[in-house]
Structure 1
Amino acid sequence: MEPHGSQPLLTAGTPLAEATAAAVLVHGRGASARSILGMGEAFGVEGVAYLAPQAAGNTWYPNPFTAPVASNEPGRSSGLAAVASAVEEAADAGVPTERVLLLGFSQGACLASEFVARNPRRYGGLAALSGGLIGERIDPADYAGDLDGTPVFLGCSDVDPHIPAERVHETAAVFERLDGDVTTRLYEGMGHTVNADERDRVTSMLSALVAE
C-alpha cells in the first residue's frame, strides 16, 4: 500500500535541467509541499532546484515518531519511497546525489533522517530541523553503511514538546557511526520552529554545493 504514491512532487527555484544542486524538502505534519518550498526559496541560493514531495492528508505517518515503527506503517515506508523518488528525479536530470541536500522540518525531519540513515551514501547534506530517527528505540547497530563525510546538521530546541533532546543525540550518534560530518545544535528554550541560525547554516550548506 502506497498512501503517498499518487501525490505530486512540487518544484521551485532553478529548473532541474539548469541546476547545479538540488534540495529535497520534506514538510511536517499538517503542512504541505508548497509551504516548505517557500522556506527553500527564502534561502536565496541561485542554482538550486527545490523538490518537495506531498504527503496524503498532509501527514506522513499517524503516530509520534517515537512510537513502534509498525504503528506508523504504511505511511513511513511510503514516505521514504516519496523521498527516494525525489532524489531519483534529481539524478535523472543530471544532479548527482552528492549535490543533493535533504532537508526536513518536524515530521519531515524525521523522515529525511530516516531516509539518509537507511540509504547511506555521499549526499550533498542532511538538515534535520526539529526531528530525529524514527522508532521506539534507536540502536546504532541497526544502521550500516557509509555516508562518506556527508555534512549532517541537526537543529532542535532543548525543550521541544515533540522531539526529545535525547533522541537528537541518539540520531547524531548514528550518523557519526555512519561517517557523517555531524553538527548538532540544541537551542535553549526555543519552540517547535526554525530559527535564524538554522536558516543561516542551511544557506551555507547550499551555497557550498553550488560553489564546488
Structure 2
Amino acid sequence: MSADDPHADAEFATAGSEPEDADVGAVLIHGRGATAQSVLGLADEFDRDDVAYLAPQAANRTWYPQSFMAATEPNQPHLDSALAVVGRAIERLADAGIPAENVLLLGFSQGACLTSEYAARNAQRYGGLAVLSGGLIGETVERERYGGDFEDTPVLLGCSDSDPHIPEERVHETRDVLADLGADVDERIYPDAPHGIFEDEVAAVNDIVAGLGE
C-alpha cells in the first residue's frame, strides 16, 4: 500500500466458477469496516452456479476515509484508488473472456456508493448494477463528472427512507443521473427500515443474475 495509491495491492476473494470457465461474472464491493469475504456471501443467495464472483478487499477495510457526502478532495487519494480497483476487477473478468455486458456490479453501503460512482463515470452496457443502500459520491452531485451510455442496463437502487447514512434525496438524485445516462432504474425505498440488505433486494438481484448472458 502506498500513500498515493492506498488500494494498489488490493486482493480479490473469489467464489463460484473460475472466470475462464464462466460466461458471466459479478463484482461485489463490501462496505466500510467489512471484508471481501463477507459480501462474497451474497453469492450463496443467487440461483446460478456458473457465475464467476470477484470481491476486492479495501485497505484497512475502508474504501475512503470520510462520508460519501463529504467534498471529494478529503477522500483522495483513496477514492481514485478505490475506483481503479473496481476497474481492475472488470478488466480481470474481461481478460478471462467475460465482457462488461455479462457482468453484474453490486455494492452495499460504502461499497454501493463506490459502485454507483464508478458505473456513472464509466457508463456502458453492463449485465446489471445493484446499489444497495448507497448513492453517488460528493458534497453535491456534479452531473458533469458522469458520462457514457448504459444502454438500458438494469439497475436496482434500494435504500431505507430512514437510513442513518444515506439521505433519501441522494438516492433520488442517483436515480435521476443513472436514468439520464440510459439505465433502466428500479428504485425501491423501504419505509422505516434499518441500514441493511433486504430480502426483496436479494430477490430482485437474483432476477438480474438469472438474466446475465442472455
TM-score (norm 1): 0.97
Runs of 5+ consecutive residues of structure 1 not aligned to the other structure: none
Report the counterpart of residue 107 of structure 1 in structure 2.
110
Which residue identity does 1:45 align to in structure 2? R
**Corresponding residue for residue 57 of structure 2:** 54
2:72 equivalent among 49, 69, 73? 69
CA contact (8 A) 2:32 2:62 kept: yes
Most deviating of 38-47 and 88-97: 38-47
Structure 2-normalised TM-score?
0.96
Partners of 1:139 and 1:173 in 2: CA distance? 12
Structure 2 CA distance, aligned partners of 1:70 and 1:140? 17
Q: 2-side partners of 1:73 and 1:141: how far apart?
A: 19
Aligned-partner Cα distance in 2 for 1:27–1:76: 14
Show the 5 A alignment for 1:74-85. Answer: 74-85=77-88
Structure 1 residue 137, shift from structure 2 partner = 0.3
Amino acid at match of 1:113: S
Match of 1:26 among 7, 29, 38: 29
**Equivalent in the alignment of 1:145:** 148
Which is worse superposed, 182-191 or 37-46?
37-46
Compute the displacement of 1:139 (Å): 3.3
Superposition pairs of residues 1-212 of structure 1, within 5 angstroms: 1-210=4-213, 212=214
- Structure 1 residues 28-84: Cα deviation after superposition (integer angstroms, max 9, x where no partner): 000000111111232232211110011000000001000000011111111100000
Q: Deviations over 1:82-138 (max 9, x none)?
A: 000000000000001100010000000000000000011110111000000000001
Residue 15 of structure 1 deviates from its aligned partner by 1.2
Equivalenced residue count is 211
In 2, distance between residues paired with 1:140 and 1:176? 12
Counterpart amino acid of residue 192 in structure 2: G
Contact 2:13 2:56 in 1 (8 A): yes
User: Superposition RMSD on alpha carbons, in Å?
Assistant: 0.9
The separation in 2 between residues aligned to 1:107 and 1:45, in whole angstroms, is 26
- Which residue identity is paired with 1:62? P
Amino acid paired to 1:152 = V
Identity of matched residues, %: 54
Q: Which amino acid aligns with 1:6?
A: D
Give ranges in structure 2 of 5+ residues lacking alignment.
none
2:147 alignment partner AA? A
Structure 1 ranges of 4+ moved more than 3 A: none
Distance 2:188 2:135 in 1: 13
